[in-house]
A and B are shown apart, each in its own frame.
Chain A
Amino acid sequence: MLAVFKRELKAYFASPTGYIFMGFFLLICGIFFAFSNLLTASPDYISVLSSITFVFLIVVPVLTMRLMSEESRQKTDQLLLTSPLSVTGIVLGKYFAAVAVFLLTLLITCLYPVILSFFGTIAVWEIVGGYIGFFLLGAAFISIGLFISSLTDNQVIAAVVTFSALLFIWILDWVIQGLPTDRISGIVFACALVVGVAALVYFTTRNIFVSVAIAVIGFGIIAGVYFANEYFFDGFIVRTLEWFSLLKRYENFMMGILSLSPIVYYITFSAVFLFLTVRVIEKRRWS
């Protein structure tokens, strides 16, 4: 894992990718810092962190598009997968390399609050909390990008799809507000989910019995839950989609609240996508 991590980190700075990422990030951050702190003489640095989350939409695809797709295009995955390394080790090495570049950039931006502290008092712990939240949010986005990069051997496609996925997450809270919360639509949505999962299983395994069994069990669970607690499906769509609402958890950090549950949430989120990446790579070898 360490070898992959080191190679990946070097590769970022052997190509323009690492510099583009850092440069663009620091530029945007600097502009916001100048406008909201320096020019207005405001010590409220945390508002900078909360207003630049949109940068992730642009820079995360740059950081992650190459990670797995280039390996399959150049056939270097043959080297990695026939070496004694585990797939998990490979995926983690790559993930941590991308996260390390992000972390390094973030550390440079720490200069801004340090500059502010020369002119007055700043809320140190709030800013530290804000940074932790910002870091975890970015790391979660990177895991999505890594996952998407493992699905294709074309960097450009990986970048575009990652951008779309992040955009979707970014507008999710806004979309959720417009969704129906009544019981019927909740049940319909749950049934659609079950059908979707069964179809996915069918297309990946071509095993009709397993997928039908999954569908039957799924519908059974829905019926069971309905009779046990019919209120469960009120607002079910919203509650499900909120699971993906990375930004909602981020607001806590911005208000200076540092609690455990959003931290656990972000780490779990990343872990799930890393696990899916490993599965995709393993799966391809079986097809």
Chain B
Amino acid sequence: MIQVIDVTKRYGQHVAVDHINFTVEKGEILGFLGPNGAGKTTTMNIITGYISATEGTVKVDGFDILEEPEEVKKRIGYMPEFPPLYMDMTVQEYLDFVSDIKKIDRATKKRSMEKIMDLVKIGDVRKRLIKNLSKGYKQRVGLAQALIGTPPVLILDEPTVGLDPKQIIEIRSLIKELGKEHTIILSSHILPEVSAVCGRVIIINKGKIVASDTPENLSKRLSSSGRLSLRVAGPEKQVLKLVRELEGVKNAEVQGVKEPGTVDILVEAERDIDIRRPLFYALSRAEYPILYMRSVDLTLEEIFLQVTTEEREVS
């Protein structure tokens, strides 16, 4: 459905996107994950034809964005990073205008607008000026705008940013629902979000694809972070000494004391070694009970670090 072929974007000397290649099949939900400045927005802007690539091209449904931009644009609904809203219009006027520029039939326009307003739940603000809407509602209007004309492809740039937790869950399940009929690319900073909705994840860093896999495989690779946070009832020095001497422990450090008579420590294991059981027995033998133990999720930065070092080791 979507083919991104060797796309590069340079701003002067700065390379924002560096020879990216990937394809998205019909009906797939693809997650685009990367830290700030990775090139997610730039790539999406190129796919939608907002900016042109320095090199390479994009094909949607077989149509080349450079040769037949209109055919491509007809097939894509785009929700940019900042929803492109006219502040001086009401929600209804705005969606009406979007339907017109997307050349929707007059006959079906009204009905499809109603359907979309229901879907993203903005029916009750339809008469309000967009400028007076809250951030979350503006975001929804931005999404509604992308859905108009039910294009087969949806490109969503950080669709849940700035929403409250309840709305985030709603929008995620909406995207999942939309995924049944649309091919979707969505970008995000948050791995769990991407895992929750996407069938496949592409991780991009500094303009390059560093990993492309299903969320399951990816988390399998990443769960070997081997870092545990635990709270132990016992004297700081002895506990730390005991833990450090344990086989398979790479590093251990005190995080602080939150409860009197206990100590919180962060333990880092050697790669691919599960130290939870030895840790439990060692501490219980010494009669320092573990009050809690949980594995520490990787931060995004660490994920990239790990993925990039992994790739280097492989090659």
- Which residues of A approach B to under 8 Å, CB–CB? 2-4, 6-7, 10-11, 14-15, 74-86, 285-287
Contact = CB atoms under 8 A, between A and B. Distances in A.
Contacts of A11: 86, 88
B110 interface: no
Contact of A81 (B50, B102, B145): B50
Q: Is the interface of A mostly helix, strand, loop or mixed?
A: helix
B142 to A, nearest CB: 9
B86 A285 contact: no
B103 A74 contact: no
B84 A74 contact: yes
Interface residues of B, number: 28
B101 A82 contact: no
19 contacts: A2-B100, A3-B101, A4-B101, A7-B97, A10-B93, A11-B88, A74-B85, A74-B86, A76-B85, A79-B98, A79-B145, A80-B101, A82-B49, A82-B76, A82-B78, A84-B70, A84-B103, A85-B101, A285-B52
Nearest to B129: A14
A80 to B, nearest CB: 7
Contacts of B50: 78, 81-82, 285
A4 B73 CA distance: 17
B84 A79 contact: yes
Given A3-B100, A4-B101, A7-B97, A82 B48 contact: yes
Contact of A74 (B45, B51, B87, B98): B87
A75 B84 CA distance: 5
Contacts of B85: 74, 76
A7 B86 contact: yes
Contacts of A3: 97, 100-101
Given A82-B49, A82-B78, A15 B88 contact: yes
A75 B85 CA distance: 8
B131 to A, nearest CB: 11
B36 to A, nearest CB: 18
Nearest to B75: A84
Interface string B86-98: 1111000100011
Contacts of A84: 70, 73-74, 101-103
Contacts of A81: 49-50
